[in-house]
Structure 1
Amino acid sequence: MKLLKGLWIGFWSGLILGLLLKWIQSVTGEQVYTLLLNVDFVPVIGSVQWSEITEFIFHMIIALVIGVVFVYVAKRRNYSFGQLVLISLLMSAPFPFLYFLLSWLAVEAEVPAATDWSAFLYWIFAHLTYALLLPILYKTFERKNAVSQ
């Protein structure tokens, strides 16, 4: 049950993150969605010209793993919602730094420069939304299961 709950939470939070960044990119022109999906620097797979859907699936695999890890941590104790938010924020702490790393590592993709502060703020906003979705979805799932039992 933990695995399924983690996959469910990872799926929805990852989907919303991806769609949010895609929307931000379409409205602002900042290439933050492109940055999220870019894998051109990864050995072996980076040399392949992947479709957007395949790159999105790569993103979703990472989101699924994070969702499962979050649920396994959350299930260890009966954490309050505030504690779950804190756990999620701690788990998400590397995400802002990934902006810089991914910007620097990009080979061919047109991604924002590491010094593009507006793109960085969009990245932070979207990933903060993602981090807050993890405990919200977790508690929603818990409440839904409690009602159905």
Structure 2
Amino acid sequence: MQKGLLAGTIAGIVLGLSLKFMQALTGSKVYTLLLNVDFIPYMNQQWPEVTEFSFHLIISLLIGMVLHILAKRGYHPWQAACLLTLPTILLYFPLSVLAIKDVPAPNDWFAFSLWIIGHMLYAISLAYTYSKR
């Protein structure tokens, strides 16, 4: 299970930093969207960035644990990482609709492209880290 937790941690950091860099470079608020939890009941307050990033990492840890379970059941880590990342790419649409903060619109295809690139980096780092440990 430690391999999955480590892979989830590293991949979550890679995703967060890559989207933060893309947002700084382009102005498209994809990092803001990643960390946004304002639409969840009892979570709609102003959280420090480090706390929001921690929420994101918790989800990534869970994904890393599921990757470990799938790998133990015979899935190749690269296959499992892609399988687990696909739904996170599609979360762009409901997250952008539900957000109260200023985030990219659901039909902002440039932002969606950045979101896809970030999540592809996530899948690659998840599988690579898991395979190397």
Contact 2:11 2:122 in 1 (8 A): yes
Two-structure CA RMSD over aligned residues (Å): 1.1
Q: For residues 84 and 37 of structure 2, what CA distance do their matches in structure 1 show?
A: 22
CA distance, structure 1, for counterparts of residue 9 and residue 55 of structure 2: 12
Q: Deviations over 1:85-121 (max 9, x none)?
A: 22211111212221111100011x1100111100000
SS at match of 1:94: helix
Counterpart in the other structure of 1:54: 51
> Take 2:114 and 2:59, find their aligned partners in 1: how far apart are those partners?
20
- How far 1:129 moved relative to its partner? 1.0
| Counterpart pick for 2:86 among 76, 80, 93 | 93
Q: 2:124 aligns with which of 108, 113, 132?
A: 132
Q: 3-state SS of the aligned residue for 1:93?
A: helix
Report the alpha carbon displacement of residue 139 of structure 1 after superposing the two structures with TM: 1.2
The correspondence for 1:103, drawn from 96, 106, 112, is 96
Match of 2:112 in 1: 120
Could you give the per-residue CA deviations for residues 30-59 of structure 1, whole angstroms, max 9, x where no partner exists?
Answer: 00000000011001112x210111000000
Q: How do residues 26-105 of structure 1 correspond to structure 2 at under 5 angstroms?
A: 26-46=24-44, 48-77=45-74, 83-105=76-98
Task: Using structure 2 for the length normalisation, give the TM-score.
Answer: 0.95
One-letter amino acid matched to 1:57: S
Identity of aligned residues (%): 49
Structure 1 runs (4+) deviating above 2 angstroms are none
Q: In structure 1, the residue corresponding to 2:6 is in which secondary structure?
A: helix
Q: How many equivalent residue pairs?
A: 133
Q: Distance in 2 between matches of 1:88 and 1:111?
A: 26
CA–CA separation in structure 2 for the residues paired with 1:10 and 1:86: 15
Give the counterpart letter for 1:124 in structure 2: I
- Structure with higher Rg: it is 1
Give the alignment's TM-score, normalised by structure 1: 0.85
In the alignment, which of 6, 18, 22 is matched to residue 8 of structure 1?
A: 6
